[in-house]
Amino acid sequence: MNLRTLTTCAAVVLLAAAAAGADQAPACANGQSPRNVDRRADPSPYQLTGHTSFIGRTEPGSLVYLPRPGGEPQTLYRCGQHYHFPIETPQGCRGETPEASTKAASTKAAPPPPGSRIEIHTVYAANRAAPPGCDPETLGCCTDPPFLVRAFSATVSERGEGPIEPPAGRPLAEWSGSTTGPESAPGECKPPALWSLRLGCGFTVGTAQLEQFKHADPARPVQHGERLSRDLTLVRP
């Protein structure tokens, strides 16, 4: 057995252990994130399908949240952005290596090399604070719920400049879940957050675009079982 095979086997064992630990963790008052959103998984992780997103009009710094079922629209404001390496939310793209980590990065670090698969989270809230009193790479600038995360995964490229904007269009995976990131203790219940993840494996983000961030955030383990909400929706074109 060569080194590459041993490394692959070790990764499988670690993922299986993380999944088992999440299965044994207690249920939480709200659904937890991240979760598997692979459309080709059997059985399918989706409970619902439709053509209506809970995100209405979007602007560079805000969006209209449309609560289900038929609640009053609410304007939410962009209050933070960060990225995870490795990815948190598997959707079946090549190069995904979801892993668990309990350590939060705290120092300036170089972006992952070209070819790496990362996950970008852009966060919105009912009210926001402004830097330098808060860190926009955390949730510290997001002051009032509801919190909504627009997410997508991308391959790091040598090309690409300017701010990172969540890609428009569909399909989307949408669900009620929680914030993510490293856990303070195994099985932690994190606070509520809504998720709208743009599905697709062809997005790219340039190395220069990632240099605006201090570091990549580590990944929370994929959640399972009773820790998940029952409203994962595939929003079709």
Domain count, the chain: 1
Decide if pLDDT at 50 tops 70: yes
The pLDDT tens digits for 189-214 are 999 999 999 999 999 999 999 999 99
Torsion-angle region of 40 (φ positive above 0: left; ψ -120 to 50: alpha; else: beta): alpha
Is 232 within 8 Å of 29 (Cβ atoms)? Answer: no
The pLDDT of 141-146, averaged and rounded, is 97
* Type and span of the H or E element at 98: none
Q: Is the dihedral of CA 29, 127, 55, 122 positive or negative?
A: negative
Q: What angle do CA 9, 205, 236 make, to 5 degrees?
A: 85
What residues make up the domain containing 126?
A: 3-235
Residue 229's Cα: distance from chain center in Å? Answer: 15
Residue among 147, 131, 170 at smallest CA distance from 77: 147
Decide if pLDDT at 89 tops 90: yes
What does the alpha-carbon distance between residue 189 and residue 30 come to, in Å, rounded to a whole number?
A: 8
At 42, the pLDDT band (50, 70, 90 cuts) reads very high
Q: What is the pTM of this model?
A: 0.86
At 8, the pLDDT band (50, 70, 90 cuts) reads very low
At 98, the pLDDT band (50, 70, 90 cuts) reads low
Q: What is the residue-averaged pLDDT of the chain?
A: 88
β-pairing, 148-157 vs 192-198, is parallel
